[in-house]
Amino acid sequence: MSTPSIPKTQTAIILRQYGEPTAMEVDKAYKVPSLEEVTPTKVLIKNVFAGINFIDTNVRRGKYPSQLPIIPGMEGAGTVVAAGSEVQQLFPMGSKVGYMGMGLQSYAEYALIEADKCVPILDSNVSFEDICGAMMQGMTAHYLTSADGTYEVKKDDHVLIHAGAGGMGLLLTQVCKLKGAKVTTTVSTQQKAQKSKAAGADNVVLYANQDGTPTDAWVEEARKTTPNGQGFNVIYDSVGKTTFAHSLDLIAKRGMVALYGSASGPPDPIQPLDLVKNSTKITRPTLFHHVENAITLRHRANEALTWIASGKVKFDYVKYPLDQAAKAHEDLQGRSTTGKLLLQI
């Protein structure tokens, strides 16, 4: 295949100072990495999609300080336009590729990525949308529910998933259903409840008032969805401050609370002795510790991609043009979205 022509400049989203979504500027003349920068283990990718994740809003606010300016974004899907001498065989020119990792700077037309963060896509029929879905969110749904990750979800387990209509919530619900579990979710609006139900949730409860403020009435409603009110075997809590104490309360004996995010803020501290009531296990896992090397990253990504590409798990997304990244962040942190947010490039 002949070398594609690579422009000198591109459109990229630049964060020069931490702040609100508008802190992200659109730069239409940002330098494209040169071929000299494609060292032996790197891959230069022309992005088709950059995925937006909730963690990006925290990076933008300065919760993970780094040397500014940066291009935000931790994942993408696109085609290989150049690859270093050691990785050309795995990443041939023109082939499809996905990638995920901290600080990979994906909100741009081009991304220069270390090959060990890249997943070669062997089936060229797989869509770029689905590839992006299998990256951070697909892999997270995989490790959270697997024996080699957080908790192996089993047939007839009772599972509670908070924020059930979000990007993670919709994927997790479907994966847990695939494994034969009974799933209850929490959401903030009726419209989100419908979305969560359509993804397969057996029960959906509203954990917020119409103005979005938290309520407690849902706790007993959720408990009643388990046999004899015994509670849930595993609770996937990505909301944190407004839900975590309730999650501890709703856990079954010897159950696991997986606090894997804190969209509403960090939860209040607890005492270790609070766990004795149900011999509760708590974990605060992160994907980055479950994809320590290229082998585990590609294994998880491929399993997630198989779920999605086979149609067993439907990847639900909404697309924003690249130059609308600020609007996408505003919508995500304002709780007005369902499913995954993709930046179309």
Ligand X SMILES: NC(=O)c1ccc[n+]([C@@H]2O[C@H](COP(=O)([O-])OP(=O)(O)OC[C@H]3O[C@@H](n4cnc5c(N)ncnc54)[C@H](OP(=O)(O)O)[C@@H]3O)[C@@H](O)[C@H]2O)c1
Chain contacts with ligand X (rule: CB under 6 A): 53-55, 136-137, 140, 163, 165-169, 187-188, 192, 238-239, 260-261, 263-264, 285-287, 332-333, 335, 337
Q: Give least dist CB 10 to ligand X, A.
A: 25
- Is residue 204 a contact partner of residue 197, using CB atoms and an 8 Å limit? yes
Whichever of 56 and 109 has its CB closer to ligand X, that residue is: 56
What's the distance, Cα to Cα, between the start and end of the chain in Å? 23
Closest distance between ligand X and the C-beta of residue 333, in Å? 5
Q: How many CB atoms lie within 10 A of CB 245?
A: 15
Contact 51, 106 (CB under 8 A): yes
83 or 136, CB closer to ligand X?
A: 136
To the nearest 10°, report the CA torsion of 114, 117, 120, 124.
-100
In the complex, least distance from residue 42 CB atom to ligand X, rounded to whole angstroms? 25
Structure-token pair, residue 215 = 């309520």
Q: How far is the CB of 166 from ligand X (least distance, A)?
A: 2
CB-closest chain residue to ligand X: 166
Please say which residue, 87 or 132, places its beta carbon nearer to ligand X. 132
Say if CB 161 and CB 173 are below 8 A apart.
yes
Cβ-Cβ contacts under 8 Å for 291 (sequence gap 6 or more): 100, 139, 143, 297, 300
- Taking alpha carbons only, the member of 74, 76, 78 closest to residue 54 is 74
Q: Which is nearer to ligand X, 147 or 273 (CB)?
A: 147
CB of 16 to ligand X, least distance (A): 24
CB 340, min distance to ligand X, A: 7
Nearest-5° Cα angle at 202, 207 to 300: 95
Does the N-terminal peptide bond of residue 21 adopt cis geometry, omega within 30 degrees of 0?
A: no
Residue placing its CB nearer to ligand X in the complex, 38 or 239: 239
Residue 343: HSE in the Cβ half-sphere, 13 Å Cα cutoff: 31
Q: Which is nearer to ligand X, 188 or 225 (CB)?
A: 188
Reference 128, options 161, 163, 95; nearest CA is 95
- Asked if residues 10 and 27 have their Cβ atoms less than 8 Å apart, the reply is no
d(CA 63, CA 66): 9
Residue with smaller CB distance to ligand X, 19 or 180: 19
* Rounded least distance, CB 41 to ligand X, Å: 25
- Written as one letter, the residue type at 192 is K
Burial 84-108 (b: 16+ CB within 10 A, else e): beebbebbeeebbbbbbbeebbbbb
Q: In the complex with ligand X, which residue's Cβ is closer, 11 or 58?
A: 58
Minimum Å gap between C-beta 137 and ligand X is 6
